Amino acid sequence: MVRQKIRDKTFWILSMILVPFIAPIVYIYRRKNLLHLADNKFKNARLIK
């Protein structure tokens, strides 16, 4: 299993380099859309009980 040839080595190497730098940029861009999750009705329902 360990000795199997890794396919698309270039893709995996580029992914390991690029994804850690792209993820924070995507998070900052999408953050305003994620903020509403803090006020969802499931959390509020749990606080009422």
pLDDT digits (tens, 9 = 90+) for 12-30: 898 999 999 999 988 888 8
Whether 1 maps to a domain, the answer reads: no
Confidence of residue 2 (pLDDT cuts 50, 70, 90): low
Is residue 32 a part of any domain in this protein? yes
In a domain, 43, yes or no: yes
Structural domain of residue 20, as residue ranges? 9-48
pLDDT at residue 18 in the model: 92
What is the token pair recorded at 5? 């040839």
Q: With respect to residue 4, please indicate whether it lies within any of the assigned structural domains.
A: no
Question: What's the number of domains the chain is made of?
Answer: 1
Mean pLDDT, the chain, rounded, equals 76
Q: How far apart are the first and last CA of the chain?
A: 51
